[in-house]
Amino acid sequence: MRDFSTDHSALALNTATLGHNLDGHGAGWSPEQVIYACADRGYGGIVFWRREVKKPIRLGNAVRAAGMKVAGLCRSPFLTGSLAHTSDQKIMDDFYASIDMAAALEAGVLTIVTGGPEPGTKGVLQSQKILTERVARAADYAAARNVNLALEPLNPAYGGNRTCLMTVADALNVCDVINAPNVGVAVDVYHVWWDTTLVQTLAQRAKSRIFGFHLCDWLEDTSDILLDRGMMGDGVADLRALRSAVESAGYHGMCEVEIFSAKNWWQRDPQGVLDVIVDRFRKCC
Ligand code: ZN
């Protein structure tokens, strides 16, 4: 397992940590402000959200000029469920557009948040089939642009409308069917920390298919399932055990801090938030 206590070059900031995933949150920093502040502190990478990227080629170059990587792009449109576009054509067009943006950023990884059960269906199996078919259709397109597609299973609490993949095993099942080298999974501690089968699943099945590892913490008494994620070390997730599991399964990429926190971290000065992240990454992760 890598030693982060004196080296945080594997640390990446997901800009959702500064509220950039939703309108009206955070301090409203520009992507350029984020780049300079992260580079100053020795971060290794940044993950942007589509909504904040206006000129992807220029932005990607600016990140690399500052000595960092674009560690990923959030995210695909929903590919199934009530929050997805209403036609297959619109869903796929938007999916391809998100792949194009990842390619222009030279991000390497596009995170897929799947969307929930299809309207008119019950449970998730039928939706997983539709998801599989849509991701399979885009896999070659993404591969031709050097983009890996990372299926991110979400905590089952999001199963109503945001995901039809609740576990890493679910996501790997989809990967198995598609069987493309650029289709894998993103492991986010917020979504998987509770899963006592995770270590075994990763060890037996993940091989080289982990494309992302996302950090935050699960607060003991969380007040909002979407927007009250904790800073690493403030909650109950066993962060080191989770990292050990993904690294044992062959993941040695960036560790991406992704904290949606409307009432706490998004209220603070981003400069201080970025400092706390470095400290916690070294001490707790
Ligand atoms: Zn995540």
Cα 69 to ligand 1 centroid, rounded to whole Å: 18
Cα 152 to ligand 1 centroid, rounded to whole Å: 7
Cα 36 to ligand 1 centroid, rounded to whole Å: 23
Cα 151 to ligand 1 centroid, rounded to whole Å: 10
Give the model's confidence band at 265: pLDDT under 50 very low, under 70 low, under 90 confident, else very high.
Answer: very high
Residue 22 is predicted with a pLDDT of 92
What residues have CB less than 8 Å from 262, skipping those under 6 apart? 19, 25, 224, 227, 228
Cα 48 to ligand 1 centroid, rounded to whole Å: 12
Cα 140 to ligand 1 centroid, rounded to whole Å: 24
Cα 163 to ligand 1 centroid, rounded to whole Å: 12
Q: What are the tokens at 233?
A: 């070390």
The per-residue pLDDT for range 232-256, each reduced to its tens digit, is 999 999 999 999 999 999 999 999 9
Please compute, for residue 139, the number of CA atoms within 13 A of its CA located in the half-sphere on the CB side: 19
Give the model's confidence band at 270: pLDDT under 50 very low, under 70 low, under 90 confident, else very high.
Answer: very high
Closest CA to 98 of 118, 81, 84: 84
The per-residue pLDDT for range 116-173, each reduced to its tens digit, is 999 999 999 999 999 999 999 999 999 999 999 999 999 999 999 999 999 999 999 9
Give the model's confidence band at 284: pLDDT under 50 very low, under 70 low, under 90 confident, else very high.
Answer: very high
H-run or E-run covering 94: helix 88-105
Cα 214 to ligand 1 centroid, rounded to whole Å: 5
The per-residue pLDDT for range 89-99, each reduced to its tens digit, is 999 999 999 99
Cα 216 to ligand 1 centroid, rounded to whole Å: 9
Cα 194 to ligand 1 centroid, rounded to whole Å: 15
Report DSSP state, residue 119: T
Residue 207 is predicted with a pLDDT of 87
Ion ligand 1: residues, CB < 5 A: 188, 214, 258
Give the model's confidence band at 53: pLDDT under 50 very low, under 70 low, under 90 confident, else very high.
Answer: very high
What b/e sequence results for 149-160 when a residue is b if at least 16 CB atoms lie within 10 Å of its CB, and e otherwise? bbbbbbbeebbe
Average pLDDT over residues 72-87: 98
Cα 257 to ligand 1 centroid, rounded to whole Å: 8
Mean pLDDT, all residues of the chain: 97
